[in-house]
């Protein structure tokens, strides 16, 4: 993509090596295997009518691997935003297809064109990667800008972290008292979480949003080697408080941002460790989902299928959405786009401008889709699904190109980081995680995740940051 040295921090020198032929060999073997399987076409037509579409999706994922390896280029680390995005899309397809398979065992009559959804995601991923590569090559190597930077004053930052932790703990205590139970421990089978904001009020925000900020600020200090034992405790406490109400994303956001920043500015995270953490984390997240609803179809599914049924169901719903809008139902033509802009300003500001923020959110993609699916709760289908239900295939492909441009921009800024000291470091990490999560998230909620964390961080920077002039 660009000069490899531009993607490495001072602690991670990249040794220039000729590119390996192994990815090309693996992709060639995949394509030859698929070509050979066509000899059994009549048998496949009987057992798997959509096998050609499924094989096409696998072939496109092979192209994605080639673009990622030879186009995006090294280093292949978890701090590389395009690599994480493509990997997330692939895992979403694999585990989402497994979720659909498990669903058909519970509901034998349930069917969607899941192979088309797999092909759709693979093509969108390909376009995003191509856009990312083209933009990065056009822009040239990234360099740390020779200008003044705002960096953290560690003494003030540490004190503010402790102060926010106290506010977070108080907010958690009052919220749990008003809610009447601990959702993380007792589950939430009746989906009472939608009533928590009304029950707990501002105390819930102190518990969740301040808890996330505490975790992020503790993570910055740890990545910059400024964190002591109390800072570690504060960070872990912030994550626990934020996820106390059953929302797994409130834990995933700070953990993902801290890991990304750690990999870029402190030490590379081992791929082996990352793989083990993933294999352990997926069943745990599925278990938490079952715990929330206090129910699991264990009498129908095996343990492996239970894990699949509780993982990435958004991909299955993407297949349903594509079926729904491909059989004559009118596209939304951007009528739900308003929710993207609402998080940037508070409700009083929008009211002063004559905009009803609540009404805009009531017409969000997830709410509309939930109504179409006859569900009582909003349904997420990810960025690509939301683009499809608004603009169809071509609109989704254009959106994928724009998404790739955003990935390239954030990737260049993250790769230019050399330490966790600049204020922008943790902001970039949060934006990167939100961009990646957007593939299964809800676009107004992704923007909300960025504004509700980055606005407080920038406000803290007014008090606890100083200007530092960088060398030319």
Give the span between the Cα atoms of 75 and 435, in whole angstroms.
20
Question: Euclidean distance between the first and final Cα of the chain, in Å?
Answer: 24
Q: Are the C-beta atoms of residues 129 and 82 closer than 8 Å to each other?
A: yes
Specify which residues 469 forms β-bridges with: 148
Q: How many residues are listed for the chain in this entry?
A: 472
pLDDT of 294 above 70: no
Q: Which residues fall within 8 angstroms of residue 367, CB to CB, at 6 or more apart? A: 361, 378
- Those residues whose C-beta lies under 8 Å from the C-beta of residue 53, and which sit 6 or more positions away, are 113, 115, 116, 118, 119
Are the C-beta atoms of 261 and 152 separated by less than 8 Å?
Answer: no
For residue 17, the SS3 value is coil
Q: Note the pLDDT of residue 376.
A: 63
pLDDT cut 70: percent of the chain above it: 88
Helix (H) or strand (E) holding 455: helix 443-464
Instruction: Tell me the pLDDT tens digit for each residue of 170-190.
Output: 999 999 999 988 887 777 666
Contact 369, 381 (CB under 8 A): yes
Position of tokens 């759709």? 120
Instruction: Give the dihedral sign, CA 181/186/192/194.
Output: positive
Question: Across residues 206-230, what is the average pLDDT?
Answer: 93
Q: Where are the domains of the chain?
A: 149-293+415-462
Query: How large is the average pLDDT for residues 238-249?
Result: 88
More confident residue, 308 or 81: 81
**Per-residue model confidence (pLDDT) at position 10:** 44
What the block records as the tokens of 260 is: 């990304």
Which range among 240-244, 297-301, 464-468 shows the weakest confidence by mean pLDDT?
297-301
Task: Indicate whether 287 pLDDT > 80.
Answer: no
Q: How far apart are CA 73 and CA 16, in angstroms?
A: 11
**Residue-averaged pLDDT of the chain:** 83
- Does residue 450 surpass a pLDDT of 70? yes
Q: Does residue 235 carry a pLDDT above 90?
A: yes
Q: Where are the strands (E) in 125-186, listed by range?
A: 148-152
| pLDDT tens sequence across 125-166 | 999 999 999 988 887 665 555 455 788 999 999 999 999 999
| Contacts with 318 (C-beta within 8 Å, 6 or more apart), sequence order | 96, 117, 120, 121, 381, 382, 384, 385
Query: 164 with 220: CB under 8 angstroms?
Result: no
DSSP secondary structure, 206-230, as one string: HHHHHHHHHHHHHHHHHHTT---HH
Q: Which pLDDT score is estimated for 18?
A: 65
Closest CA to 357 of 378, 374, 343: 343
| Ramachandran assignment for 333, one of left (phi > 0), alpha (psi -120 to 50 degrees), beta (any other) | left
Confidence category of residue 5, pLDDT binned at 50, 70, 90: very low
**Cβ–Cβ under 8 Å, residues 208 and 245:** yes
Q: Which two tokens stand for residue 195?
A: 């009533």
C-beta neighbour count of 130 within 10 angstroms = 17
Say how far apart CA 64 and CA 108 lie, in whole Å. 33
Closest to 260 (Cα-Cα) out of 92, 427, 71, 91: 427
Q: Averaged over 280-298, what is the pLDDT?
A: 68
Is the backbone of residue 301 left (phi > 0), alpha (psi -120 to 50) or beta?
beta
Per-residue confidence (pLDDT) for residue 127, from 0 to 100: 96
Quick one: how far is CA 193 from the chain centroid? Answer: 21
Please tell me whether the peptide bond between 338 and the residue prior to it is cis, using omega within 30 degrees of 0: no
- DSSP result, 31-74: HHHHHHHGGGHHHHHHH-TTHHHHHHHHHHHHHHHHIIIIII-S
> Is the backbone of residue 111 left (phi > 0), alpha (psi -120 to 50) or beta?
beta
Token duo for residue 272: 């082996």
CA dihedral 332, 406, 74, 279 (to 10 degrees): -50
**How does pLDDT run across 9-65, given as a tens digit for each residue?**
444 444 455 667 777 777 777 777 767 777 776 777 777 888 889 889 999 999 999
R_g of the chain computed on alpha carbons? 23
Q: d(Cα 260, Cα 214) in Å, to the nearest integer?
A: 17
8 A C-beta contact, residue 31 and residue 100: no
pLDDT at 3: 44
């Amino acid at each position: 993509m660009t000069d490899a040295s531009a993607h490495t921090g001072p602690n991670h020198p990249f040794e220039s090596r000729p590119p390996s032929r192994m990815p090309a060999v693996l992709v060639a073997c995949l394509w030859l295997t698929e070509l050979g399987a066509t000899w059994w076409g009549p048998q496949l037509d009987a057992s798997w009518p959509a096998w050609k579409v499924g094989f096409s999706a696998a072939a496109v994922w092979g192209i994605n691997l080639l673009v990622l390896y030879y186009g995006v280029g090294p280093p292949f680390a978890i701090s590389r935003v395009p690599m994480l995005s493509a990997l997330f899309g692939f895992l979403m397809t694999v585990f989402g297809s497994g979720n659909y398979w498990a669903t058909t065992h519970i509901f034998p009559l349930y069917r969607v064109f899941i192979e088309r959804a797999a092909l759709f995601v693979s093509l969108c991923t390909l376009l995003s990667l191509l856009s990312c590569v083209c933009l990065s090559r056009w822009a040239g190597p990234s360099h740390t800008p020779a200008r003044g930077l705002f960096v953290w004053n560690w003494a003030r930052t540490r004190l503010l972290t402790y102060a926010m932790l106290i506010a977070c703990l108080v907010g958690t205590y009052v919220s749990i008292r008003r809610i009447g139970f601990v959702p993380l421990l007792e589950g939430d089978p009746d989906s009472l979480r939608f009533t928590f904001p009304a029950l707990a009020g501002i105390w819930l925000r102190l518990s969740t949003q301040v808890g996330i900020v505490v975790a992020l600020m503790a993570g910055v200090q740890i990545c910059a080697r400024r964190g002591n034992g109390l800072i570690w405790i504060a960070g872990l406490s912030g994550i626990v408080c934020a996820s106390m109400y059953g929302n797994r994303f409130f834990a995933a956001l700070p953990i993902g941002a801290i890991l990304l920043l750690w990999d870029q500015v402190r030490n590379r995270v081992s791929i082996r460790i990352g793989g083990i953490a993933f294999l352990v984390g997926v069943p745990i997240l599925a278990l938490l989902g079952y715990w929330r609803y206090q129910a699991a179809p264990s009498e129908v599914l095996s343990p492996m299928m239970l894990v699949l049924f509780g993982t990435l169901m958004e991909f299955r719903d993407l297949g349903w959405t594509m079926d729904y809008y491909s059989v004559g139902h009118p596209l939304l033509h951007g009528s739900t786009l308003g929710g993207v802009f609402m998080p940037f300003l508070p409700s009083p500001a929008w009211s002063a401008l004559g905009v009803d923020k609540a009404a805009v959110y009531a017409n969000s993609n997830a709410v509309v889709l939930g109504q179409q699916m006859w569900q009582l709760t909003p349904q997420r289908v990810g960025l690509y699904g939301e683009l499809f239900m608004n603009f169809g295939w071509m609109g989704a492909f254009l959106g994928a190109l724009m998404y790739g441009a955003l990935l390239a921009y954030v990737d260049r800024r993250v790769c230019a980081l050399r330490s966790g000291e600049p204020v922008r470091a943790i902001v970039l990490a949060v934006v990167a995680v939100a961009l990646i999560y957007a593939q299964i998230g809800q676009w107004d909620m992704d923007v909300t995740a960025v504004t509700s964390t980055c606005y407080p961080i920038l406000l803290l920077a007014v008090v606890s940051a100083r200007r530092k002039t960088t060398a030319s």
